[in-house]
Amino acid sequence: MTRPSFTEALATRPWLLADGATGTNYFQMGLMSGDAPELWNFEHPDRVRALHGKFVAAGADIILTNTFGGNRHRLKLHNLQEQVREVNVAAARLARAEADAAGRPVYVGGSIGPTGEIFQPVGALSHEEGVAAFEEQAKALKEGGVDVLWIETMSSEEELRAAVEGASKVGLPIVTTMSFDTNGRTMMGITPKAFGALTASLETQPVAIGANCGVGASELVATVLGISEARPDAAVVAKGNCGIPQYVDGHIHYTGTPELMADYARIALDAGAKIIGGCCGTSPEHLAAMRKSLETYTKGERPTVEVIEARLGPVSELAKGVDKAAAGAARRERRRG
């Protein structure tokens, strides 16, 4: 079987289904709070492959490697900073094995998460150090056989730029997403529209851009509206959390049902997403419902914020066009004037 490349699939398919959560599913499989999920690539490779396999069976077209914290700055917390190559190569090979066994094209995204450090000028990490760390991880993921480098859950412009620059040195396509979880913005204050403009200015253009994680399916779809409005030319990723997290019987439980996530998948497609998946709390059962929902659906009209709220739940004031942060800054400026 001749498999189209990831970029060919992205250009020719009406949508691609990305996988669900890694961490929250690992907790169900025995991962303890505070443990490094990346160690499972050595200690429990059977469990890592089992989750990939369940997502493939549920219909995922894209599975992400167990390397979200696989850069040297995050691995340093577990004294694994000298094992960046081993961690990432092992994880990529586990995902590759399940993708290749699927009997249909399944693509492996090399998950690249934040360093956990604050970049200069606010923090201590230099641009050059950041680029070097991301390049090191990207090289290992390529060696392990990934199809695409998947930079996710970013919150600052400085880190996003360093990640894309580092990843671009290994010659694979790049996808990049930010997490909009603070009143419709990233933790560092970037709006969906500003993210669209930022990605357009990158020297190496990602093949897809979008949002992951955040505060639930409704806000994620509203974020997709903002990104696709700013970048109508871009392939957009929607990888939203499965509802809202709640603490139940000593565990974090997400409120989203398979029915809600099925509806979210359709609305995300209408809003302009090309790659649709789930983040925290999204199980293989949720993903199977999303696959079935998309396969029986023809893309409809672009939803309004009101439609999103009615079907999926509340969204931020920013998503409704009320930018309180900007208004507050303008008021402070007038008072100084």
What is residue 246's predicted lDDT score, i.e. its pLDDT? 79
- Rounded Cα distance between 206 and 61, Å, is 19
pLDDT, mean over the chain: 93
User: Confidence class of residue 123 from pLDDT cuts 50, 70 and 90?
Assistant: very high
* % of the chain beyond a pLDDT of 90: 85
Q: Within 13 A of 333's CA, how many CA atoms are on the CB side? A: 6
CATH 3.30.750.24 fits 6-336, yes or no: no
Please determine, for residue 329, whether its predicted confidence score (pLDDT) is greater than 50. Answer: no
What is residue 282's predicted lDDT score, i.e. its pLDDT? 95
Tens of pLDDT, residues 140-185: 999 999 999 999 999 999 999 999 999 999 999 999 999 998 889 9
Range list of β-strands (E), 89-244: 107-112, 148-154, 174-178, 208-213, 236-240
Tens of pLDDT, residues 48-62: 999 999 999 999 999
Nearest CA to 319 out of 216, 239, 200, 234 is that of: 216
| Cβ neighbours of 23 (radius 10 Å) | 15
What residues does each domain of the chain span? 6-336
- Rounded Cα distance between 173 and 156, Å, is 21
Nearest CA to 100 out of 49, 149, 150, 139 is that of: 49
Nearest CA to 60 out of 302, 234, 239 is that of: 239
Which of 245-254, 257-266, 298-307 is least confident? Answer: 245-254
Q: Within 13 A of 263's CA, how many CA atoms are on the CB side? A: 15
What is residue 332's predicted lDDT score, i.e. its pLDDT? 46
What is residue 335's predicted lDDT score, i.e. its pLDDT? 54
User: Confidence class of residue 330 from pLDDT cuts 50, 70 and 90?
Assistant: very low
Buried b (16+ CB within 10 A) or exposed e, 235-244: bbbbbbbbbb
Instruction: Work out the average pLDDT over 108-119.
Output: 97
Instruction: Work out the average pLDDT over 200-205.
Output: 97
Please determine, for residue 122, whether its predicted confidence score (pLDDT) is greater than 80. Answer: yes
Q: Which residues pair with 239 in a beta bridge?
A: 212, 277
- Rounded Cα distance between 218 and 310, Å, is 9
Tens of pLDDT, residues 238-257: 999 998 777 777 777 788 89
CA 56 distance to own-chain centroid: 17
- Rounded Cα distance between 59 and 261, Å, is 14
What is residue 325's predicted lDDT score, i.e. its pLDDT? 64
Instruction: Work out the average pLDDT over 82-87.
Output: 98
pTM: 0.94
User: Confidence class of residue 30 from pLDDT cuts 50, 70 and 90?
Assistant: very high
What is residue 199's predicted lDDT score, i.e. its pLDDT? 97
Give the gyration radius of the chain's Cα atoms. Answer: 19
Reading the block at residue 21, the tokens are 């959560």
What is residue 144's predicted lDDT score, i.e. its pLDDT? 98
